[in-house]
A and B are shown apart, each in its own frame.
Chain A
């Protein structure tokens, strides 16, 4: 079972860039079928898929965030990262990194999750 851990610099001011890193351990970082994902949850709300990246570097973003979003991967460090720019209070949420399993266009589920990190956007 993979272990994922989010890390980041803490609170972010409006209009600035939110940056988070997820460190993966306990398994292969380049296993076929695994997409390295970000999901967020605003306080008291449901889950929102942000986007994911394959180890090859192919990215898939939620259109609602695409213009502000960048996800990258560093397989040598077993890390992948999220950058969301021009943040507002609406971006305040718990951000989870997770693995999404999709092989041969089948399965398609999130099977491992980090513990989540609360990012507050406030001046």
Chain B
């Protein structure tokens, strides 16, 4: 199985901050890396697919980048609605696997 490791596990930030979350895969998975946002008690929501393509309706302050085994989710100008847990996910091979999540909390 491909292991997905996110860092940090949690972070505190203020509205307006720029936040970066990283995801490292145990083997190359390009370009099949996706990012999801999950709010407490809700289902995950697709933010970015194929490393850097923004899902329809997702604000442009979210962006993704990376290649090979190392990927990044960046939230520029953090908004109150962005406080949530973020998961990376690889669709490169079965079984599909997710990172352990990064919780973004209010400072």
A binds B: yes
A residues sitting closer than 8 Å to B (CB atoms) are: 46-49, 60, 62-64, 96, 98, 100, 102, 106-111, 113-116
Structural contact, A46 and B46, CB atoms closer than 8 A: no
Contact status of A47 and B49, CB under 8 A, knowing A63-B95, A108-B32, A109-B91: no
Contact B55 A47 (CB under 8 A): no
Q: Among the interface residues B46, B50, B96, B98, which one has the most CB atoms of the partner chain A within 10 A?
A: B96
What are 16 sample pairs from A and B whose C-beta atoms fall under 8 A apart? Answer: A46-B87, A46-B98, A46-B100, A47-B87, A47-B89, A49-B97, A63-B95, A108-B50, A109-B34, A109-B46, A109-B49, A109-B91, A110-B46, A113-B43, A113-B45, A116-B42
A46 CB contacts on chain B under 8 angstroms = 87, 98-101
CB-CB nearest 5 A-B residue pairs: A108-B91, A113-B43, A109-B49, A49-B96, A47-B98
Question: How many inter-chain residue pairs (CB < 8 Å) link A and B?
Answer: 57
List of B residues within 8 angstroms of A48 by Cβ? 98
Inside 8 A of A106's CB, which chain B residues have their CB? 50
Q: In the complex, A107→B92 CA distance in Å?
A: 10
Residues of B within 8 A of A109 (CB): 34, 46, 49-50, 89, 91
Q: Which residues of A contact B89 (CB under 8 A)?
A: 47, 109-110
